[in-house]
Amino acid sequence: MQLKLKKGLTLNIDGAVENWNPCAEIVPTTCAIYPEDFHGITPKTNVKEGDLVKVGSCLLFDKTQPDLKITSPVAGKVKAVVRGERRKILRVEVETDASAPFESEAFDTASAKDSAAILSLLAGSGLLAEVRQRPYDIVPRLNEAPRDIFVTAFDLAPLAPQPGFGLMGDDAAQVLTKAVEVLSGLTQGKVYISVSDSGFSGTIKGAEIVEVSGKYPASNPGVQAANIAPVNKGETIWCMDIATLYKIGRLFTDGKVVSQTFVAVTGPEVATPCAVKTVEGASLPEVLAGRLKNDNVHKRVICGNVFTGTVENPDSKESYLHYPWRQITVIAEGDDADEFMGWASMAPSKMSLSRSFPGHFLHKLFRPDARLNGGRRAMIMSGEYDRVFPMDVMPEYLLKAIISRDIESMEKLGIYEVAPEDFAAAEYADTSKLPLQKIVREGLDFLRKELE
């Protein structure tokens, strides 16, 4: 199957990794898991400070679904359960055992013969928490079987590495085939694997391979699903990347959870962009040590890409990698910039989608900063979202329905098909400077609360 998407955008940002051979292998002294990265769960701790854990040991579980667990990425001792206001769990920190950092729990895969046992094993190993359900873009509900499962094997976000890069070995095809076989037992539909039209050859037994061409956000599994088999009211689909699929296959092959990952350290403020082999949830200061430019520029460290990542404090010792744990982007903050005419500057070094700026016509690598470049204003119904939104949805009208909390209009306009990340490109292109991803996230949470 081939899927050609014309809408979207590509940002040419300086700081891409050129040599993908790992420049370092870091076993961090401390790792942490953030419950907020796993939207849709009500976290409850399963450990206390001082407890010994292994890779795959339960740190948190869902209060509404106790069988759904979030597990430790390393073996060691629980350092702290950090709480915020009203005792909200902010993160669980684990101090790594330097002598055996990857000692893993052993999971009994031999007895997982039927769908219930398979689902229970995925939930107990923590891998189900890395899957996302549509509608609502949340961790899957255990009582809802997916109609189809969509896997994306590439990433078109700025400077992003390919999912699963460096993680998969020579037996990758067999492991992925095993994962597809396992997931096929959980759905009556198909397992779709979407690949770049220029970066994949071959087949994976049991899966429907889809060759996708286009610009970001064409690599989002939700966008692919909306163009292949859209989700309707009352239906459920699962979305994941190829790295998660590989972990599932490895679990059912070896009985262990893979927690090592390759992180691309990218961006204009990185001295030498490179790939680092480390662990999920690794300490950011340890990963970034000695890798940032010493140019006296205020820096913004983003866990993830510039569209959807999470901002972290680079100077804090309590900053850790966020899910999905494969990219760090560092750009200038911009609060110390001294630029003639500010956001209205016509300098060719300014990156813009508008034809009013010379940079729009230049095929060069840009060094953007984090400034808003303009003020917030009312939504302009100009069709600018449509130009970068490759789904059969009218984004402006859907956003207005979400803001007004009009459930009937939200359903008619396709709320069940979308996730916040699908609006990232539109948020960048938005001249109104509206936080579109936040609006969609709040709308999905409101809808789920009202209907469930």
pLDDT of the residue at 326: 95
DSSP 364: S
Per-residue pLDDT band at 200 (split at 50, 70, 90): low
Detail the DSSP E strand segments found in 214-309: 237-241, 260-266, 274-279, 299-303
Non-local CB neighbours of 452 within 8 Å, separated by 6+ positions: none
66-75, 348-357, 410-419 — which is least confidently predicted? 348-357
Say whether pLDDT at 357 is over 80.
no
Query: Which comes out higher in pLDDT, residue 122 or 381?
Result: 122
State how far Cα 127 lies from the chain centre.
14
DSSP-derived secondary structure for 139-151: SPPTT---SEEEE
pLDDT of the residue at 329: 98
- What would the pLDDT profile of 380-408 be if each residue is shown by its tens digit? 878 899 999 999 999 999 999 999 999 99
The greatest distance separating any two alpha carbons of the chain, rounded to the nearest whole angstrom, comes to 68
> What's the mean per-residue pLDDT of the chain?
93
Q: Which residues pair with 263 in a beta bridge?
A: 276
43-52, 207-216, 380-389, 421-430 — which is least confidently predicted? 380-389
Please return the burial class of 188, using the count of CB atoms within 10 Å of its CB with bins 0-12, 13-18 and 19+.
exposed
Per-residue pLDDT band at 343 (split at 50, 70, 90): low
- The arrangement of strands across the sheet holding 132-134 comes to 2-4, 208-213, 191-196, 148-152, 237-241, 132-134
For residues 121 and 185, is the Cβ–Cβ distance under 8 A?
A: no
Say whether pLDDT at 199 is over 70.
no
Q: Is this structure's pTM higher than 0.75? A: yes
- What would the pLDDT profile of 316-339 be if each residue is shown by its tens digit? 888 999 999 999 999 999 887 777
Query: Which comes out higher in pLDDT, residue 188 or 336?
Result: 188
47-56, 64-73, 276-285, 371-380 — which is least confidently predicted? 371-380
